[in-house]
Structure 1
């Protein structure tokens, strides 16, 4: 139960600690991306080999998010958060000390365990904060994901130029250690928990299914989408996830309560998360790539790694403002409104990218507009789930939502990259400008579809009614 007598000053330190914890993870998702060329040269790796530095992180993160979110519901969110951050710190230390590509890939896989910071932080906020402050707090935590993602593309350039790639991980380790210390010092364990046994069969089946799915998505472009390996992985994922669903419907204490996922508000949020991830994640990789294109081919801005990252800076800044604002709008009018607005604003951002990417200022403007959409979306999605489930299922439900957003984002990013790489400027290996335009239009269409999905969900776009209003202090809102 939330402590309704807690004053804002008494929640400031715990909230700052949670923000630091989730920031440490979101930074490390992308800080390695600008350093990939340096890593490839140092280890003499192929493009496929070096891409595992990203893929290994993604695979373990997708599984850890759902599993550790559920474990937090069962055994205490603070306890599991500290354990997750501890493993995350260990992986980061191993990455900083890596002297081979294999060790670095393994270290990145260990780092992925830190993904549990998001669902666990959402659960802690719901358990420990006054009810009226929960929507805005969740909005700001959600925005931190995008902010860290964007900043993680900007910071490595100066770090690598001045030092070397290992200092990316030393810097990340410092932030993680500060996050661990802050959580240990200021965050208390909540009494709300759902004791039970771990569904190990569910863990194995979910892990295998998600890993096979993401491996197929991440390798599709390089192996060939119609290759036997990729088709086999998709088939394996389908079989394992189908068996997982059957098992979860029969065990007494499932890893994931499938009945929970069938609730209209939760289902709408999960479907929207997948489509929004598909549409939005392409911008994180396409915009820096477009900015670094030499203008001699007819487009691009001759940007350095550092300058290319700055094209996403307006997005990160806008997210920081949009997340809490989305929380306030959702608390007053219901979460359907900010989710629909998020998708429509995102469409506008990608339209700017598509029709005006020959102007640096237009690209900055598009990034700012899209940042508003991303901030609104992440905050609305998290609050939709939190508002629709019991406290004892918060980590589980928000973890699944994050996984679906990640899977959608991985698929969208791979398809966008394939579209861009499909045609080159004659006489060069530089992608043709039309590829970027097509990819941006695809993302705009995806967000339009997400808007329709959000509109089809439960709730209205007007002021929250009796059923949608926050429950009285000390009582749980009815599940929808």
Structure 2
């Protein structure tokens, strides 16, 4: 009888230990819902913001460029600080900064102040990597760390996309009924509520690495990322002939060299570059960068292609603004589906094969658009295929990085997936902008005034998205078979390789 009781206790211990994690995931899902609102809410009201600030529509690009540059700087520092002093603590700090920035927007008509506050809102990009690291740190003690983190990541990404859809719909509806200042208050209030949800509902990671922040490494990587993203932003605005833009891009790449050399010598580096030697991690990081090309760089071209009138230009779907938003909405719903399906499929055929299949779906969806883009039904079918794969990858990549990284580097690893994805999107945004303008000169004057796109440019977008996703699928084939699982031998093997 005593033996039976002990067995029963052992069998029920993992379930009991996972209950607090389930509660934390519920609170973090609200955080990602808020993140989605921030990402979707402002899109329908950008024209109104431009009129309020007295700027040209083209100057709205500075908002995206500034936030992109700051986002790239924030993630490495906050991911490392999360491992050192607490993932919840850094979640609170980043949420507080985002809330203050969002509260500034309704109360200023100065473009400079609005631009600075908009850039500071980019601190929300660290939320998902910190959340995944926090969930992993709390769940690995239950013996189901990889599986639990994968399932939680799917739920968080689903909440993110639901927030993006809800935010876009709410922003579009409210701007027609309320003054802009009141409309801008809504996401700010949501972020303030989010702060208290984290403070009251989320417990800190049980094990912290401690140590001191590598400030020299932070300065070096910040300068490199700032030069690279700044150069890409100027390149997109000024065109491929701008020498200053290319000089900044080259400087950003060159600054990576002293950063890597410094990190290899440092006892407690900001980013342990040896992570890139891991056979399980380097394909994940490369995949994140290649995936950023489509998930961050291709959405604006998709919207503008849908709005292009085929009777005038001979291509496009000629949709209204609402119908185009439906196309984006269906794509986001497909991403939700992919994120929720990922843990189930991964459990059936291993996470590695699921990642390969997800990247393959993204590739298939975009490559199918090359021959099939003449009707709304064709394009929406292609985007559903790509969306399912994209949703799975958004959920899978940070979870896979957390499962394969050493225990003291989970925040850094999940943060790196976000950083390289952002860089992939920044490069793609620049390339796609140039591609869509490259054949504009051959259009009629009236056409050139109506749209900057060209069919050859859109073809380039679809080819690049399809090929980069296919390359990612091939690279993931070389990941060790039991990577990203709860197999007892998998995690130590990866950790030993990384620390060698």
Residue 406 (str. 1) matches residue 422 (str. 2): yes
How many Å apart are 1:52 and its aligned residue? Answer: 1.3
The answer as to whether partners of 1:150 and 1:284 remain within 8 angstroms in 2 is: no
Residue 376 (str. 1) matches residue 376 (str. 2): no
The answer as to whether partners of 2:37 and 2:167 remain within 8 angstroms in 1 is: yes
Q: Considering only aligned residues, what root-mean-square deviation do their CA atoms show, in Å?
A: 2.4
Cα gap change, 1:159/1:97 in structure 2, threshold over 3 Å: closer, same or farther?
same
How many Å apart are 1:121 and its aligned residue? Answer: 0.2
* Equivalent residue in structure 2 for 1:254, among 269, 277, 294: 269
Residue 435 (structure 1) aligns with? 457
Equivalents in 1 of 2:181, 2:378: separation in Å?
35
Residue 112 (structure 1) aligns with? 122
Which ranges of structure 2 fall in alignment gaps of 5 or more residues? Answer: 1-12, 495-500
Cα gap change, 1:106/1:296 in structure 2, threshold over 3 Å: closer, same or farther?
same
Equivalents in 2 of 1:373, 1:275: separation in Å?
13
> What does the per-residue CA deviation read over 1:104-158, in whole Å, with 9 as the maximum and x for residues that have no partner?
1100121112221111100111122342422211233245455555655554322
* Equivalent residue in structure 2 for 1:203, among 193, 210, 218: 218
Cα gap change, 1:154/1:479 in structure 2, threshold over 3 Å: closer, same or farther?
farther
How many Å apart are 1:175 and its aligned residue? Answer: 2.4
Helix, strand or coil at the partner of 1:264: coil
> What does the per-residue CA deviation read over 1:426-473, in whole Å, with 9 as the maximum and x for residues that have no partner?
232223333223321221122112222222x3223xxx5xx764156x
Cα gap change, 1:152/1:435 in structure 2, threshold over 3 Å: closer, same or farther?
farther
> Which structure 2 residues correspond to residues 13-28 of structure 1 after superposition, within 5 A?
13-28=23-38
Cα gap change, 1:438/1:152 in structure 2, threshold over 3 Å: closer, same or farther?
farther
Equivalents in 1 of 2:472, 2:244: separation in Å?
31
Equivalents in 2 of 1:165, 1:261: separation in Å?
46
Worse-matched range after superposition: 169-178 or 84-93: 169-178
Number of residues of Structure 1 aligned to a counterpart in Structure 2: 470
Equivalents in 2 of 1:401, 1:393: separation in Å?
13
* Equivalent residue in structure 2 for 1:140, among 125, 147, 155: 155
* Equivalent residue in structure 1 for 2:73, among 46, 52, 63: 63
* Equivalent residue in structure 1 for 2:407, among 386, 391, 400: 391
Equivalents in 1 of 2:166, 2:469: separation in Å?
23
Equivalents in 2 of 1:63, 1:168: separation in Å?
29
Equivalents in 2 of 1:476, 1:440: separation in Å?
37
Equivalents in 2 of 1:350, 1:183: separation in Å?
38
* Equivalent residue in structure 2 for 1:447, among 469, 484, 493: 469
The answer as to whether partners of 1:248 and 1:255 remain within 8 angstroms in 2 is: yes
> Which structure 2 residues correspond to residues 180-329 of structure 1 after superposition, within 5 A?
180-297=195-312, 298-329=314-345
Equivalents in 2 of 1:147, 1:106: separation in Å?
28
The answer as to whether partners of 1:335 and 1:383 remain within 8 angstroms in 2 is: no
Worse-matched range after superposition: 174-183 or 243-252: 174-183
Which ranges of structure 1 fall in alignment gaps of 5 or more residues? Answer: none
Cα gap change, 1:149/1:448 in structure 2, threshold over 3 Å: closer, same or farther?
farther
How many Å apart are 1:309 and its aligned residue? Answer: 2.0
The answer as to whether partners of 1:151 and 1:313 remain within 8 angstroms in 2 is: no
Residue 175 (structure 1) aligns with? 190
How many Å apart are 1:161 and its aligned residue? Answer: 2.5
How many Å apart are 1:64 and its aligned residue? Answer: 1.1
Find the structure with the greater CA-based Rg: 2
How many Å apart are 1:332 and its aligned residue? Answer: 4.3
Equivalents in 2 of 1:270, 1:97: separation in Å?
40
Scaled by the length of structure 1, the TM-score of the pair is 0.91
Scaled by the length of structure 2, the TM-score of the pair is 0.87
